[in-house]
Copies of this chain bind each other. A is one copy, B any other.
Amino acid sequence: MYNTPVHHITSSATPVTVPWQNLSGGNAHECKVRTHEALFCEGDDAEFLYEVVEGVMCNYRILMDGRRQIISFAYPGDLIGLGQTDCYRYSCEAVCNAKVRSISKCALMRDAQGHADLGHRLFEIATNELASMQEHQLLLGRKSAIEKLASFLLVLARKASDEDDPQASFKLPMTRTDIADYLGLTIETVSRNMTKLKLSGVIDLPQTTTVRVRDMFKLEELAEGDECNF
């Protein structure tokens, strides 16, 4: 069974005290989600929001014949369940063993009525999510396979970047299938382009789940589509 240890990749979200922790008080409960276990499914009553505490979750939608599109990965500090009304419009499961904190949605909305700060913060989070989805639409609609993969690795590298050692390696908590479903590709195409990046010296792959960027400039060029012939 797939059982990667939980990787602590800090979220790019502001790491300040999270406002709903205090405000929703007793309404927040922690719960564990194991690799590939579902947190909720498309169509379930959207009673809760969730904050990722540990590990990585993914939100996805599927077509009837099984084609899957991963909308986003959620890292510690990220909020899951925005963009929902009465029932969830997508499914959510753990990419690796994870821990989430559930937050009663109606309690949160009630709190937001009284605390403009909280409302503002929620709006800001929704805003950031919109921005990253716009970026992802550009990727899905207009980038080639190699550009998609380069963009993806670049985001992960920056998320995990260590100021002391910018060349430090980082873990991929998700499988090739997850990456493929996020980038709108197949596993074979992801694998082929991963080796292409390795052979051309842009990245190192000490293990299949470990990446080290060797040529950040080239990776950035590829991600932005400057590099015509690769």
Contacts and interface: CB of A to CB of B under 8 A. Distances in A.
A60 B83 CA distance: 21
Interface in A113-143: 113-114, 116, 119-120, 122-123, 126-131, 133-138, 140-143
A126 B137 contact: no
Contact of A85 (B83, B84, B89, B127): B127
Interface size class of A (residues with CB under 8 A): 35 or more
Interface string A136-163: 1110111100000000000000000000
B114 A64 contact: no
B126 A63 contact: no
Contact of A69 (B67, B120, B137): B137
If over half of A's interface residues share one DSSP class (helix, strand or loop), that class is named, otherwise mixed; here it is: helix
B142 A69 contact: yes
Interface string A86-127: 000110000000000000000001001110100110110011
In the A-B complex, list the 6 residue pairs whose CB atoms are closest, starting with the nearest. Answer: A83-B130, A141-B184, A140-B140, A126-B126, A119-B119, A69-B141
